[in-house]
A and B are shown apart, each in its own frame.
Chain A
Amino acid sequence: MASTEVLRADTSARVSWKNDPRIRGIIFQVLVVVILAAAVYWIWGNTVDNLRRANISSGFGFLDRRSGFDVSQSLIQYTADSSFRSALIVGLLNTILVAVCGIITATIIGFLVGVGRLSGNWLIAKICTVYVEVFRNIPPLLVIFFWYLGVLSVLPGPRDSLELPFSSYLNNRGFFLPKAIWEESAWLIPAALVVGIVVAFILNRWAYRRQMQTGQPFPRLATSLGLIIGLPLLVTLLLGIPVSFEFPQKGTFNLSGGFQVKPEFLSLYLALSFYTASFIAEIVRAGILGVNRGQTEASYALGLRSGLTLRLVVIPQAMRIIIPPLTSQYLNLTKNSSLAVFVGYPDLVQIGQTTMNQTGQAIEVVAIWMVIYLGLSLSTAAFMNWFNAKMALVER
């Protein structure tokens, strides 16, 4: 007892405070924070000095001023008289639009190609491999230019537009589709869609509980699809199809009427979809290969057919491997949508750049970019984490 006391006293006496890792850590941290603070102070001083010299105001007051520039594509009402704030909102909505469209298409192509690479069909597997290897190894910007400069801008002019089915036209000014004009009673159709989704959701929960309790299955997919698609369809028919179409008309110089998808959007959307799809395909392939072969064999041994095996055994387990990297691909696609600035699609970065040029307030614009992109990243990550937790392995 006494000897240990002596020993302890002895060590504490010999280790000087300079060698105590805790104290050293604190000193080191204080040092780093002080240096960092000094650097920030120095940068801050320089910036204030430079801004005053260049006569640039600071602060976010510019957001309420008149923007004075037009935007080629806008989801909300916007004119050159609107404020910079609404211009940036237009940009944000355009970013979200192209990102969501791109994510949906890239996921579909990616899953098809990923499964295709594993197909027993030699030709399909080879075609999918070539697709993946080509698109994975070229810059996304090149793919955007390919569509924008190589394909869409060398299409014939409006006068000799390519005619496609359903009276849609393709020319170097974009893709012209018939525009649907809804009658007044048409609001019932989206209402029916919402009702269908809600009812399907409740029904699914009920069916799941019942299956857990009694083991009785319920045709969930068929009923849900019936409710979500069938209900709006029924309402449409009951209302006597309250829609008419405005077809694009060929004029002397341009097509008039109809719904125009601009080449800027089209090239960005196609490029992001095709480029990201090649990465998603690899993720899907790795996910499916990651499921133990024994699972498939056990499922066959239980007498499940190959379709059911894929749907009930392989895919749910593969999804667990697929979702985390898929999330980062979705985030990459969203961030790559900033390449819009190269083709003049008015996304957040492009409008921010115009704002920067007009007001000179670079710091504020960059801050807005950072906050919005971080917000988009964090919300996508949060949603995918929730989805991942839902799909995670439930051990019983």
Chain B
Amino acid sequence: MTSADLSYVRTEMLGPQPAPSRARGFGAWLRANLFASPMDTVLTLLGLFLIVWFVPNMLRWAFIDAVWSGPDRTVCATVSQGGVQPDGWSGACWAFVNAKFAQFMYGRYTYSERWRVDLTAIMFVLLLVPLLIPRVPYKALNALLLFVVFPIVAFFLLVGGYFGLRYVPTSEWGGLLVTIVLSVVGIAVSLPLGIVLALGRRSKMPAIKMICVIFIELVRGVPLVTVLFMASVMLPLFMPAGMTFDRFLRALVGVALFASAYMAEVVRGGLQAIPKGQYEGADSLGLSYWQKMCLIILPQALKLVIPGIVNSFISLFKDTSLVYIIGMFDLLGIVRQNFTDAAWASPQTPMSGLIFAGAVFWIFCFGMSRYSIWMERRLDTGYRR
């Protein structure tokens, strides 16, 4: 008796039955994700109510009723406010942003010299982007160009005064230019300083350790505003009479010192994550302290803390908006300053300007945080279970 004789046994596998209609399709998704329980239904309805109330109003304000261009405040003010819009009108005043856009980007940087800022920005992007993409080759050359050659070129391009370029004092800088220069230079200075401080904090020498701990905790314990005040008021006091400091440089010193204390803690986290065997292995090979750190420990530790460094950069980028207090006009500062311009003052101006500044900050910070998350996943080799 072979199996072929059993005519009542199926020879081929039965295909799977379709899921019951209740568990299929859009209706089932709605039931599972929006109306799973009475509580969920209430929450969903509340959320829907919020969206229905908020989104159309916002779209109407930001796009449909918005004013996109115009010569002055009259296009953004209602008749009773001395403008041309009908009473009761409410919409974004993008005309204000449009008219002031160049100022928001460059500050009061001399008009004919703005190509220098553009050129610096293009060079920065061209050097930075390949460095951030792991697949692009020539990383060492790229890093050398970005970290050694570019800062020198950028300095001469932005400040000028040599090679026939006109000198542009930093008091004329402003807008996004100041935000980016302050945060990039701040992070570039704070990284080596932070590494030294972190090594000092983990050092076995008591005096070095104490100095580093005191500096780190002192700076981390106080707000950036007070550090900036200190840099702006006390730095000139500390220097010999007659020696004056550029205001921009003072802000830079404050920002860099502040960031280096936070960077030190980030790097310390990386140093602590390196297994003890690595330290002992380096010691047993007879490497000196600096050889051990530079060749064995720091390359591993810094790779671990790349996301942390990016996060520090994000918070530094946001914090540069505080330099407004010592009379510098970063992006937010210059937007804020333009609210007082009588030619554009209207009830809609502040909100429009702030939303524009917020959008710019948001794009930068969101982009960086996404990059940091992606990098974290990529670097998470070896620990994946």
Contact = CB atoms under 8 A, between A and B. Distances in A.
B291 interface: no
Nearest to A147: B354
A46 B237 contact: yes
Contacts of B40: 120-121
B207 A139 contact: no
B49 to A, nearest CB: 11
A49 B241 contact: yes
Interface stretch (B132-140, B155-163, B226-234): B226-234
B205 A25 contact: yes
Given A120-B36, A338-B223, A339-B225, A137 B347 contact: no
Nearest to B39: A121
Contacts of A149: 336, 339, 350-351, 354
Interface stretch (B10-18, B104-112, B141-149, B320-328): B320-328
23 contacts: A25-B204, A32-B207, A46-B239, A120-B32, A121-B44, A123-B33, A137-B365, A137-B369, A138-B358, A138-B361, A142-B357, A142-B361, A146-B354, A151-B351, A153-B350, A336-B223, A338-B223, A338-B224, A339-B322, A349-B229, A356-B233, A363-B234, A374-B221
A392 to B, nearest CB: 20
Interface in A69-111: none
B357 A50 contact: no
Contacts of B82: none
Instruction: Give the most central of A119, A145, A341: most B CB within 10 Å.
Output: A145
A127 B48 CA distance: 10
Interface string A334-376: 0110110110000001000100100000110010011001100
Majority secondary structure, B binding face: helix
A342 B339 CA distance: 14
Q: Closest 3 CB pairs between A and B?
A: A137-B365, A122-B33, A338-B223
B143 to A, nearest CB: 27
Contacts of A335: 222-224
A68 interface: no
Given A47-B238, A139-B318, A341-B325, A366 B211 contact: no
A255 interface: no
A124 B42 CA distance: 11
Contacts of B229: 349, 353, 356, 362, 366, 369
Interface residues of B, number: 58
Nearest to B234: A362
Interface of B: 32-34, 36, 40, 43-44, 47-48, 50-51, 204-208, 211, 217-218, 220-226, 229-230, 233-234, 236-241, 314, 318-319, 321-322, 324-325, 332, 336, 339, 347, 350-351, 354-355, 357-358, 361-362, 365-366, 369
Contacts of A349: 223, 225-226, 229
A336 B32 CA distance: 41
A331 B86 CA distance: 48
Given A121-B33, A124-B43, A342-B324, A150 B225 contact: no
Contact of B365 (A138, A145, A377, A378): A138
Contacts of B365: 136-138
Given A29-B208, A121-B43, A123-B44, A378 B34 contact: no
A51 B234 CA distance: 11
Contacts of B205: 25, 28-29
Contact of B237 (A32, A47, A140, A370): A47
Contacts of A53: 241
Majority secondary structure, A binding face: helix
Instruction: Give the most central of B241, B322, B366: most A CB within 10 Å.
Output: B322
A240 B279 CA distance: 74
Nearest to B35: A121
Contacts of B324: 141, 342
Contact of A51 (B36, B217, B237): B237
A378 B230 CA distance: 21
A142 B358 contact: yes
Contact of B48 (A120, A123, A137): A123
B208 A338 contact: no
Nearest to B219: A370
Contacts of A373: 221-223, 226
A33 B207 contact: yes
A36 interface: yes
Given A121-B33, A142-B361, 4 more contacts: A120-B32, A369-B222, A369-B229, A370-B218
Nearest to B179: A139
A121 B225 contact: no
Contacts of B230: 366
A289 to B, nearest CB: 15
B322 A141 contact: yes
A36 B211 contact: yes
A345 B230 CA distance: 20
B63 to A, nearest CB: 18
Contacts of A312: none
A92 B322 CA distance: 21
Contacts of B226: 338, 349, 366, 369-370, 373
B368 to A, nearest CB: 9
Contacts of A123: 33-34, 43-44, 47-48, 51
A199 interface: no
A373 B233 CA distance: 19
Contacts of B347: 154
